[in-house]
Structure 1
Amino acid sequence: MKNVEKYTRGYFMPPVKSLKWTEKEYITEAPIWCSVDLRDGNQALVVPMTLEEKLEYFQLLVKIGFKEIEVGFPAASETEYTFLRTLIEKDLIPDDVTIQVLTQSRDHIIKKTFESLKGAKKAVVHLYNSTSVAQREQVFKKSKEEIIEIAVSGAKLLEKYAAETEGNFQFQYSPESFTGTELEFALEICNSVLDVWKPTADNKVIINLPATVELSMPHVYASQIEYMSDHLNYRENVILSLHPHNDRGSGVADAELGILAGGQRIEGTLFGNGERTGNVDIVTLALNMYSHGVDPKLNFENILEIIEVYERMTKMKVDDRQPYGGKLVFAAFSGSHQDAIAKGMKWREENDCKHWTVPYLMIDPKDIGREYEGDVIRINSQSGKGGIGYLLEQQFGLDLPKEMREEFGYTVKNVSDRQNKELMPEEIHQIFLNEFVNLSKPIEFVNYHFTKHDDYQTVVTVKINEEEQELNGEGNGRLDAISNALRTKLGVNYHNLVYKEHAQELGSESNAVSYVGITDDNGKVFWGCGIDVDIMTSSVKALFSAVNKLTANTHLTSKEGHFITSK
Structure 2
Amino acid sequence: MPMLKEPWKKYRKFPTLHLPDRQWPSKTIDKAPRWLSTDLRDGNQSLVDPMNGDEKWRYFKMLCELGYKEIEVSFPSASQTDFDFTRRLIETPGAVPDDVYLQVLSPCREDLIRRTVESVKGAKNAIIHIYLATSECFRRIVFNFSEEESLELAVRCTKLVRSLTKDDPQQAGTNWQFEFSPETFSDTDAQFAVQICEAVKNAWGPTEENPIIFNLPATVEMSTPNVYADHIEYFCRNITEREKICVSLHPHNDRGCAVAAAELAQMAGADRVEGCLFGNGERTGNVDLVTLALNLYTQGIHPNVDFSDLNGVIDMVEVCNKIPVHPRAPYGGSLVVCAFSGSHQDAIKKGFQKREKEGKGFEDHWQIPYLPLDPEDIGRTYEAIIRVNSQSGKGGAAWIILRKLQLDLPRGLQVAFSNVVQRRADELGRELLSAEITDLFEKTYFLRDNPRFTLVDYAINPDRSRSPAPPEPGKTQDTKNLMRVFEGVIAIDGREYKLKGRGNGPISSLADALKGVGLDIDVNDYKEHAIGEGRNVKAATYIECTVGPAKQKFWGIGIHEDVVQSSLIALLSAASNFVASRPGSPIPSRPLSAGTSSKQLDPNNTRPSGVNEAAVAPQEANGLIATLEEKANGM
Superposed displacement of residue 498, structure 1: 3.3
Q: Which residue of 2 aligns with 1:60?
A: 62
**1:547 Cα deviation (Å)?**
1.8
Asked whether 1:371 is paired with 2:381, we answer yes
Task: Name the amino acid aligned to 1:214.
Answer: E
What is the TM-score when the length of structure 2 is the normalising length? 0.83
Unaligned ranges ≥5, structure 1: none
Summarize deviations over 1:212-243 as a string: whole Å, max 9, x none. 00010000000011001111122111000000
User: Which of 273, 286, 297 matches 2:280?
Assistant: 273
- In the alignment, the residues of structure 2 paired with residue 549 and residue 186 of structure 1 have an alpha-carbon distance, to the nearest angstrom, of 77
1:429 equivalent in alignment to 2:438: yes
Matches of 2:460 and 2:497, distance apart in 1? 19
The answer (yes or no) to whether the contact 2:455–2:569 under 8 Å persists in 1 is no
Residue equivalent to 1:382:
391
Q: Secondary structure at the match of 1:284?
A: helix
CA shift, 1:18, in A, is 5.4
For the pair 1:327 / 2:334, whether they are aligned, the reply is yes
Structure 1 residue aligned with 2:633 = none
After TM superposition, the structure 1 = structure 2 runs for residues 430-445 of structure 1, keeping only pairs within 5 Å, are: 430-438=439-447, 443-445=452-454
Inter-partner Cα distance in structure 1 for 2:493 and 2:400: 36
Q: Retained in 1: the 8 A contact 2:511–2:520?
A: no
Q: Residues 453 and 573 of structure 2 are in contact (CA less than 8 Å); yes or no, is this contact kept in structure 1?
A: no
- Deviation of 1:452 after TM superposition, in Å, equals 2.8
Partner of 1:362 in structure 2?
Answer: 372
Amino acid at match of 2:509: A
Would you say the 8 A contact 1:18–1:227 is kept in 2? Answer: no
* Alpha-carbon distance change, 562 to 493 in structure 1, aligned in 2, over 3 angstroms: farther
- Listed as ranges, the matches of 1:124-523 within 5 Å are 124-162=127-165, 163-164=167-168, 165-166=170-171, 167-351=174-358, 354-374=364-384, 376-438=385-447, 443-450=452-459, 452-453=461-462, 454=464, 455-464=483-492, 467-487=495-515, 489-504=516-531, 512-520=539-547, 521-522=549-550
Residues 216 and 250, structure 2, Cα contact 8 Å, conserved in 1 = yes
Kept after mapping to 2: 8 A contact 1:12/1:180: no
CA positional deviation for 1:198: 2.5
Q: Which residue of 2 aligns with 1:7?
A: 11
Cα drift, residue 17 of structure 1: 3.3
Moved more, 30-39 or 386-395: 386-395
SS at match of 1:555: helix
Residue 549 (1) aligns with residue 577 (2): yes
1:523-563 Cα deviation digits (max 9, x unpaired): 54310113456554443222111123234324244544499
Residues 506, 568 of structure 2: 8 Å contact kept: no
The structure-2 alpha-carbon separation of the partners of 1:16 and 1:409, relative to structure 1 and needing over 3 Å to count, comes to: closer
Seen in structure 2, the aligned counterparts of structure 1 residues 89 and 443 have a Cα distance that, compared at 3 Å, is closer
Gap change, CA 1:285 and 1:441, over 3 Å in 2: closer
1:170-197 per-position Cα deviation (integer Å, ceiling 9, x unaligned)? 1110001112211111111111111211
| Higher relative contact order structure (alpha carbons within 8 Å, sequence separation ≥ 6) | 1
Measure how far apart 1:203 and its partner are. 2.4
> Which one-letter code corresponds to 1:495 in the other structure?
D
SS in 2 for 1:124: strand
CA distance in 1, matches of 2:7, 2:313: 43
Partner amino acid, structure 2, of 1:427? E
Q: CA deviation at 1:440?
A: 8.1
- Identify the range of structure 1 (337-346 vs 453-462) with the bigger mean alpha-carbon deviation: 453-462
CA distance in 2, matches of 1:16, 1:512: 68
Determine which of 101, 115, 119 is the counterpart of 1:116: 119
* Greater shift in the superposed pair: 36-45 or 198-207: 198-207
What SS does the corresponding residue of 1:246 show, helix, strand or coil?
coil
2:30 alignment partner in structure 1: 28
2:43 maps to 1:41:
yes
Q: C-alpha displacement at 1:120, in angstroms?
A: 0.6
- Larger mean CA deviation between 176-185 and 349-358 belongs to 349-358
Greater mean alpha carbon deviation, residues 489-498 or residues 213-222 = 489-498
Q: Distance in 1 between matches of 2:191 and 2:564?
A: 84
Distance 2:456 2:523 in 1: 24
| Alpha-carbon displacement from aligned partner over 1:289-308 (angstroms, at most 9, x marks no partner) | 11111111111111001101
CA positional deviation for 1:505: 5.4
C-alpha distance 562-47 of structure 1, shift in aligned 2 (>3 A): same
Bigger CA drift: 41-50 or 450-459?
450-459
Going from structure 1 to structure 2, the CA distance change for 1:263 and 1:451 (only over 3 Å counts) comes to closer
What SS does the aligned partner of 2:248 have? strand
Distance 1:40 1:393 in 2: 46
> What code does the residue aligned with 1:150 have?
L
Q: Render the CA deviation track for 1:61-88: whole Å, top value 9, x for unaligned.
A: 0111101101111122111111111111
- Tell me, in whole angstroms, the C-alpha distance in 2 between the residues paired with 1:347 and 1:465: 42
* SS of structure 1 residue aligned to 2:345: helix
| Amino acid corresponding to residue 516 of structure 1 in structure 2 | I
From the CA coordinates, give the structure whose radius of gyration is larger: 2
Contact 1:198 / 1:234 at 8 angstroms: preserved in 2? no
CA distance in 1, matches of 2:144, 2:430: 59
Quote the Cα distance in structure 2 between the aligned partners of 1:372 and 1:438. 24
Aligned amino acid, residue 555 of structure 1: A
Q: Distance in 2 between matches of 1:433 and 1:15?
A: 68
Kept in 1, the 8 Å contact 2:37–2:274? The answer is yes
Q: 1:12·1:179 contact (CA, 8 Å) conserved in 2? A: no
Work out the CA distance in 2 between the residues paired with 1:138 and 1:58.
37
Alpha-carbon displacement from aligned partner over 1:272-294 (angstroms, at most 9, x marks no partner): 00011000001001111111111
Q: How many Å separate the matches in 2 of 1:201 and 1:540?
A: 79
Query: 1:253: how far off?
Result: 0.5
Distance in 2 (alpha carbons) for counterparts of 1:327 and 1:365 = 11
Change (3 A) 1:545 1:34: same
Structure 1 residue aligned with 2:597: none
CA distance in 2, matches of 1:13, 1:235: 24
Whole-angstrom CA distance in 2 between matches of 1:273 and 1:109? 25
Tell me the amino acid that sits aligned with residue 33 of structure 2.
P
Identity of aligned residues (%): 43
Question: Contact 1:460–1:482 (CA<8 Å) still a contact in 2?
Answer: no
Q: 1:93, 1:509 → 2: CA distance?
A: 53
Q: CA RMSD in A?
A: 2.3
Shift of 1:134: 1.6
| Residue in structure 1 matched with residue 592 of structure 2 by the alignment | none
Rounded to whole Å, the distance in 2 between the matches of 1:18 and 1:173 is 28
Distance change in 2, residues 1:149/1:15 (3 Å): farther
Unaligned regions of 5+ residues in structure 2, if any? Answer: 465-482, 582-615, 631-635
**Alignment partners' CA distance in 2, 1:399 and 1:352:** 17
Q: Which amino acid aligns with 1:285?
A: L
Maintained 8 Å contact 2:106/2:130: yes
